Amino acid sequence: MIKTEHLSKAFGEIQAVDNIGIEITDNSIFGLAGTNGAGKSTFLRLLSGVLKPDQGSILIDEKSVYEQEEIKREIFFLPDSAYFIPNATGKSMADWYSAYYPKFDKKRFDELSKRLDLDTKRKIHTLSKGMKRQVSMLLGICAGTKYLFCDETFDGLDPVMRQAAKSILAYEVTEREFTPVIASHNLRELEDICDHVGLLHKGGVLLSREVEDMKLHIHKIQCVIQNPVLEEELLRELDVVQHEKRLSLMTLVVRGEKDKIMEIVESKFPVFAEMIPLTLEEIFISETEVAGYDIKDLFY
Ligand SMILES: Nc1ncnc2c1ncn2[C@@H]1O[C@H](COP(=O)(O)OP(=O)(O)OP(=O)(O)O)[C@@H](O)[C@H]1O
């Protein structure tokens, strides 16, 4: 488990990480969202033991991480721009990392590289940006560490690769002790993969929630109600976060329990009504409104 308390780091006048207290439970996929400059990279570098905190503590499996080799061998950090030895191939990088990470699984590296159609004998500097990201992601996954910290790792991948990467990560989480933390400035990159999402803003945590838990309490409905009086009633009776109407089709984002919401909708005799899945972005819009922020100002 990762636990930080009052974690702070400044660069001169800039407070990059400001009093972060967060818990990341084992075998969950933790998404770290935030705009450019929110402090995501600094936070991950602190977690990896690359930077020393000015204040506060970081405990990983109850051990302090800064300058502690034993726990660092359980951490693989994928920075925004990955480091490769000059002239290295995927295979030679796998050999290189095996020397430091005793649980590095070369067989799995070969297997996953084949699956993603990556030639591990090719010089990495000749690969495209997205392919380089794939190689570094596979190196990180196959290192066999308990923790993998990814800084914008998914952002350069095409949609097919992103899905493949997500399914590989999800598989690893179910198969072994593995806790990835994925930072992204784009909530859509974290969609469908994270169990828990923390939102960073100006170095602090604006909110941190279980995705499933949030989904239980907020829903999206599309419906057509022909009677304008009943439509007005519906908007009054529901706890509406957002609503829009196109021709006769109303789309509502509503707080509350699913069954109760549908009961109210049905009482207005809709011609058509159905629940549709909410995006992470829509959930966060409603959650941050409660905290007095407008996420649209943060992400657009
Ligand atoms: N080495 C450094 N020296 C000075 N300032 C820094 C340094 N590293 C980060 N900062 C500053 O700290 C703040 C947080 O930066 P950080 O890179 O952690 O944000 P981020 O959320 O990862 O942003 P991005 O999404 O753009 O990568 C920024 O204002 C940045 O300019």
Which domains occur in the chain, in start order?
A: 1-209 (3.40.50.300), 216-289 (3.30.70.100)
Residue pLDDT, tens place only, 20-78? 999 999 999 999 998 888 999 999 999 999 999 999 999 999 999 888 888 989 999 99
List helix spans (H) across 73-221: 90-100, 106-115, 129-142, 159-175, 187-190, 211-216
Residue from 14, 48, 150 whose mutation best tests the ligand 1 pocket (most atoms within 8 A of CB): 14
Pairing of strands 75-78, 147-151: parallel
- Residue with CA at minimum distance from ligand 1 atom 28: 37
For the chain, strand residue ranges (E) read: 2-11, 14-24, 30-33, 55-60, 63-64, 75-78, 147-151, 179-184, 196-201, 204-210, 218-224, 239-246, 249-255, 272-276
pLDDT value at position 299? 56
> How far apart are the C-alpha atoms of 30 and 24, rounded to whole Å?
7
- In angstroms, what is the span from residue 10 Cα to ligand 1's centroid? 10
> How far apart are the C-alpha atoms of 34 and 218, rounded to whole Å?
22
- In angstroms, what is the span from residue 16 Cα to ligand 1's centroid? 6
- In angstroms, what is the span from residue 272 Cα to ligand 1's centroid? 49
Encoding tokens for residue 92?
């030679």
Q: Are 153 and 120 in contact (CB under 8 A)?
A: no
- Please enumerate in sequence order all residues whose Cβ is within 8 A of that of 130, keeping only pairs 6 or more positions apart, or say none: 156, 157, 158, 161
Phi, psi of 50 (to 5 degrees): -75, -35
* Spans of the chain, pLDDT less than 50: 300
Encoding tokens for residue 34?
């935030």
pLDDT value at position 300? 46
The answer, as to whether pTM is greater than 0.90, is no
Query: Ligand 1 within 6 A of 16 CB?
Result: yes
- Residue with CA at minimum distance from ligand 1 atom 17: 41
DSSP letter assigned to residue 154: T
Residue pLDDT, tens place only, 255-271? 999 999 999 999 999 99
Longest Cα–Cα distance of the chain, Å, equals 71
Q: Is 49 left (phi over 0), alpha (psi -120 to 50) or beta?
A: left
Residue from 8, 11, 150, 184 whose mutation best tests the ligand 1 pocket (most atoms within 8 A of CB): 11
- Residue with CA at minimum distance from ligand 1 atom 30: 37
SS3 193: coil
Please state the length of the chain. Answer: 300
Atom of ligand 1 nearest to the CA of 43: 18
- In angstroms, what is the span from residue 204 Cα to ligand 1's centroid? 13
Phi, psi of 2 (to 5 degrees): -105, 130
- In angstroms, what is the span from residue 207 Cα to ligand 1's centroid? 20
Q: Are 134 and 118 in contact (CB under 8 A)?
A: yes
pLDDT value at position 7? 97
